[in-house]
């Protein structure tokens, strides 16, 4: 069954995985204020939602990435999704830490990925793209072939687009900020005038609060 980008956006809103709050922005660990917060970890406890997400990922990977040999999740957020997708597609699964272990065999990649195997990296959320591209770099260090990253949702930050392009990695997502804002406005999750305010955040998150006249207090 095909799951449209619009349907996935609606699922995220209904599940509470994405919350929009332009009047009372969230503060990220970096200190940046944001009118949107995505926590796809909430989907792990919702059986129907996670089944839909897994089916949609499997469908798109089967349709567009026919030569995939290994599904690799980013630790920790991408690990459960990678496991479910790999199981459904009958493919080997691996996961990639943010860095190599300081003990034991000192590995960053777990799961026995071999040189020249075609690997798809699975992430739950794309913000700046840093964790996903760190995983790509770790896989490439062991000579795996990585050209694609797959995620549930992307904030569509300009920074992430530039970083994926520079790394030669195609980013594929089930849905994105633009689609989610369309759904949110149509279904009264936000007022119409807030759509452009939230969309503007993705172009320059660090400067958004000043541009929008929102206090850091």
Closest of 174, 204, 212, 137 to residue 12, by C-alpha: 174
Q: 105 by DSSP, 3-state: which?
A: coil
Which positions ≥6 away from 100 have C-beta within 8 Å? 106, 107, 108, 138
Contact indicator for 95, 54 with CB cutoff of 8 Å: no
Q: What sign does the dihedral 180-197-171-32 (CA atoms) show?
A: negative
Torsion region of 131: left, alpha or beta (phi above 0 gives left; psi -120 to 50 gives alpha): alpha
What CA–CA distance (Å, rounded) separates 8 from 17? 11
Which positions ≥6 away from 180 have C-beta within 8 Å? 9, 12, 13, 18, 153
Two tokens, residue 109: 């990649």
Q: Which residues are annotated as a binding site for orotate?
A: 127
Q: Which residues are annotated as a binding site?
A: 97, 101, 123-131
Q: Which residues are annotated as a binding site for 5-phospho-alpha-D-ribose 1-diphosphate?
A: 97, 101, 123-131
Beta-strand pair 33-34/26-27: antiparallel
């Amino acid at each position: 069954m095909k799951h449209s980008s619009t349907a996935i956006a609606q699922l995220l809103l209904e599940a509470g995985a994405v919350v929009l709050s332009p009047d009372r922005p969230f503060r990220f660990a970096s200190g940046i204020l944001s009118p949107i917060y995505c926590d796809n970890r909430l989907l792990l406890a919702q059986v129907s939602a996670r089944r839909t997400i897994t089916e949609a990922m499997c469908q798109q990977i089967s349709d567009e990435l026919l030569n995939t040999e290994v599904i690799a999740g980013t630790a920790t957020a991408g690990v459960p999704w990678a496991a479910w997708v790999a199981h459904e597609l009958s493919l080997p699964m691996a996961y990639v830490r943010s860095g190599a272990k300081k003990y034991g065999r000192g590995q960053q990649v777990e799961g026995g990925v071999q040189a020249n195997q075609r690997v798809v990296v699975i992430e739950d959320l794309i913000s700046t793209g840093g964790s996903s591209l760190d995983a790509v770099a770790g896989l490439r260090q062991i000579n795996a072939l990585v050209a694609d990253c797959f995620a549930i949702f992307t904030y569509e930050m300009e920074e992430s687009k530039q970083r994926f392009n520079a790394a030669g990695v195609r980013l594929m997502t089930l849905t994105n900020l633009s689609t989610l804002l369309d759904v949110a406005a149509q279904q009264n999750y936000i007022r119409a005038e807030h759509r452009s305010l939230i969309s503007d955040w993705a172009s320059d998150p660090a400067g958004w609060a000043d541009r929008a006249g929102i206090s850091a207090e």
